[in-house]
Structure 1
């Protein structure tokens, strides 16, 4: 029995997400996606005409997941300062997941950034979206220079993401939260 388009697309994206994130986008071929998804190669190429299109869909999906997980942590807090620190609580929670491999955008950029302008653009957009979210949080907390504060916080965040992936430990997110607390003490009105 043939599966409907939405179901087939979901199965392919689920398989691509798991395989690309675990192994890297270059190491995984369309045959592996076909096998993992249970969708025929012909149907796979009808849904995603090229691997590049599938990689973009994977990154789009990761962007939505990132925004949702971050918002869940931040919106659970009401105090503006606590909302900023919730970013680091999110990073700790995320990096504590069994399948954590760091940032999918950094990983994809590392593999394809020099040969795929679209992947490079998507990575830049993702990082700039995160920066804008930090600027908004800093502004809401009363920072006199919310852009500079966001730049400091994003460096801590990105370092924690990468260090956690390399070390296999969520502890860098805790250290980044401690450093963020010091930066907030110096940057926000009392």
Structure 2
């Protein structure tokens, strides 16, 4: 590849990153349909003639923002769990709700971007429905992975994982309405009761929290 070709590729990659970052913030704050490409272009500082070189359509940009947000959130929760290696298996599972509490406390928190997008555009929008389902499948897989550390049999493990997964998503829906990060701690307490019922063992109290 020539030097000019490498420069062109780098320019497109840079434009894509800038547009995704700008669009992700704007879509999350205002909704996908309310934000036009001109607003994204202005926020990203990318010239109009280069916008559609980076993304053929707004739909492509929407999908890219969701895929990027999925990678960011998955990386965030896994880094958080990596710092909890000394916890018991039950503590690591409950730590997901501690991570959610920290997320809910952020000033920019507006709920789950994936649920927001799906609620806004619905199942018919493949560029939204696909990334949303992939993200939720990945989150369910993470919960199953953590539940698997508890040593339950397959039936009990699957049942507990599904309940904790639904509980976590319920907290995601509820927190923007309550406006309180404590929603995550309430969900954590319910998860603790579910874990104790499944394992017949008491679990430790949250680290530094009631």
- The interval holding the TM-score normalised by the smaller chain is over 0.9
- Match of residue 176 from structure 1: 187
For residues 189 and 142 of structure 1, what CA distance do their matches in structure 2 show? Answer: 12
Query: In the alignment, does 2:169 pair up with 1:126?
Result: no
What displacement does 1:189 show?
5.1
Mapped contact 2:12–2:53 kept (Cα < 8 A)? no
Partner of 2:124: 115
1:21 equivalent to 2:21? Answer no
Structure 1 consecutive aligned stretches of length 4 or more whose deviation exceeds 2 Å? 2-7
Asked if the contact 2:160–2:198 (Cα under 8 Å) also holds between the matched residues in 1, the reply is: yes
Per the normalisation by structure 1, the TM-score is: 0.94
> Residue 168 of structure 2 is aligned with which of 157, 168, 183?
157
TM-score by length of 2: 0.85
Q: Which residue of 2 aligns with 1:59?
A: 66
Query: Using the alignment, how far apart are the partners of 2:20 and 2:130 within structure 1?
Result: 21
6-15 vs 47-56, which moves further: 6-15
Instruction: Tell me the matched-pair count.
Output: 189
- RMSD of equivalent CA atoms: 1.5
Q: CA deviation at 1:141?
A: 1.5
Per-residue CA deviations over 1:45-103 (Å, capped at 9, x if unaligned) read 11011000000000000100110111022222222111101100011011111000111
Residue segments in structure 2 that go unaligned for 5+ positions in a row? 1-7, 202-210
Whether 2:196 is the aligned partner of 1:167: answer no
Residue 117 of structure 1, CA deviation: 2.3
Alpha-carbon distance in 1 for matches of 2:158, 2:31? 33
Mapped partners of 2:158, 2:133: distance in 1: 17
